[in-house]
Amino acid sequence: ISVVVLQGTVLNSWKVVWVVLADDAIEFYKKKTDNSPKGMIPLKGATLTSPCQDFTKRTLVFKVSTAKNQGHFFQATHLEERELWVKDIKRAITCLQGGKKFARKSTRRSIRLPENVNLSELYVLMKDQDKGVQELKVEKDKRLFNHCFTGNTVIDWLISEGKARNRPEGLMLATGLLNEGFLLPAGDVSKDGAEKGAECVFLDQTEALYYFADSGFFCEGYSSDEDVIMKEEFRGAIVKQGCLLKQGHRRKNWKVRKFILRDDPAYIHYYDPTKGEDNPLGSIHLRGSVVTAVECVPDAKRHEVDGNLFEIITSDEIHYYLQAATADERKDWIKAIQSVSKTGK
């Protein structure tokens, strides 16, 4: 489930919607709290095109064509999100072609994980900053991958920590983590392995790159022109990104915005998710700011927002009110912003 941008079939306008991948269809909702979907796209006999080049001024677009040749266009908020959607939709279509129903939680049965293996607990141990798998910056094919690690590093860690007796066992555990969405592929080699059939394949290779699902992973291309100077506030590494509801300062209405959090310097930029990331709608300098969870927002109507709210107060005493999709997401955003506001300049 996630927020993506969908092109309408009547007016060809782009709308921000909540999308849910069911076992045999894609359902989309106007709001996360809606009980019934605004529409549904059947996946039986469907095909998926990614990347979709039908729009010259839009990036991160993928297309789902139904068995009746109806095309539906989606735009993700960032590259990693698009790859996740493409991977799962392809797996769902593959399952339906084989007469099965798609279910992300089939990992334990499909690769015969022992009943005593708790993938959630294993993931927490892997993310430990001192004893877990160390995140690196890897330069490859004129791209810089931040906060990632290699496939063989994961297997080495599982064996050294006594979680696996040998590499085949380690590979089974790593495949389980990949199928459950705890680990995600980064780069062409690992993505090729992840898209083979209905189940992902983890690669025990130095060329295969992966990252933690809730890490600050991002990939950037770079130029050989060293004279290109970025604006100072965009120099920081991306710590977290995603969509949130933001209250406007003038009309006090709520709109979905994509937020990108950077450190050193500590800035969070927000964008219209339907128009890309070339020109942010605004930025918040976080150095010395305070962020806290709140139960209500001044000047907000009760029916407009409900739950998972938080507030950023800048050093200039400007208040920003935001709403996350879930309690866990709110907690993650608050923790990330608090860290950046203390350490970034």
Q: Which domains does the chain have, with CATH numbers?
A: 2-98 (2.30.29.30), 119-220 (1.10.10.10), 235-342 (2.30.29.30)
Output the six-digit token pair for 300.
């907000």
52 vs 32: CA distance, rounded Å: 26
Three-class secondary structure of residue 80 per DSSP: helix
| Residues 6 or more apart in contact with residue 34 via CB below 8 angstroms | 18
Determine the pLDDT at residue 64: 93
> Across all residues in the chain, what is the average pLDDT?
80
Q: Which of 185, 222, 182 is nearest to 207 (CA)?
A: 185
Give me the phi and psi of 27, to 5 degrees please: -105, 140
Residue type, position 261, single letter = L
| Per-residue pLDDT at 214 | 67
Is the pLDDT at 340 greater than 60? The verdict is yes
Tens digit of each residue's pLDDT (9 = 90 or more) over 226-279:
323 345 677 778 889 989 999 887 777 888 899 999 887 889 999 888 877 777
Per-residue pLDDT band at 120 (split at 50, 70, 90) = confident
Residue 128 to residue 121: CA distance in whole angstroms? 11
- The rounded distance, in Å, linking the Cα atoms of 172 and 300 is 50
pLDDT at residue 108, rounded to an integer: 40
Task: Tell me the two tokens of residue 108.
Answer: 């334990």
What pLDDT is stored for residue 9 in this prediction? 53
pLDDT at 109: 43
Look at residue 41 and give its three-state secondary structure: strand
CA gap 250, 288 in Å, rounded: 24
- Name 326's Cβ contacts closer than 8 Å, sequence gap at least 6: 308
pLDDT tens-digit series, residues 62-100: 899 999 988 888 887 667 678 888 888 998 898 888 887
pLDDT at position 134 is 93
**Tokens 């992300």, residue?**
104
pLDDT of residue 330: 92
Instruction: Compute the distance between CA of residue 259 and CA of residue 333 in angstroms, rounded to an integer.
Output: 10
Looking at per-residue pLDDT, the higher value among 59 and 104 belongs to: 59
Q: 3-state SS of the chain: helix, strand, coil percent to 5?
A: 25, 30, 45
What is each CA distance from 190 to 18, 116, 135, 152, 193, in whole angstroms?
28, 28, 16, 12, 5
Closest CA to 66 of 83, 43, 89, 85: 43
For 310-336, how does the pLDDT look when each residue is reduced to its tens digit (9 = 90+)?
A: 999 888 788 899 998 888 899 999 999
| DSSP letter assigned to residue 85 | H
Please, which residues have CB within 8 angstroms of residue 160's CB and are 6 or more apart in sequence? none
pLDDT tens-digit profile of 139-165?
A: 876 677 878 899 999 999 999 999 999
Residue 111 has pLDDT above 60, yes or no: no
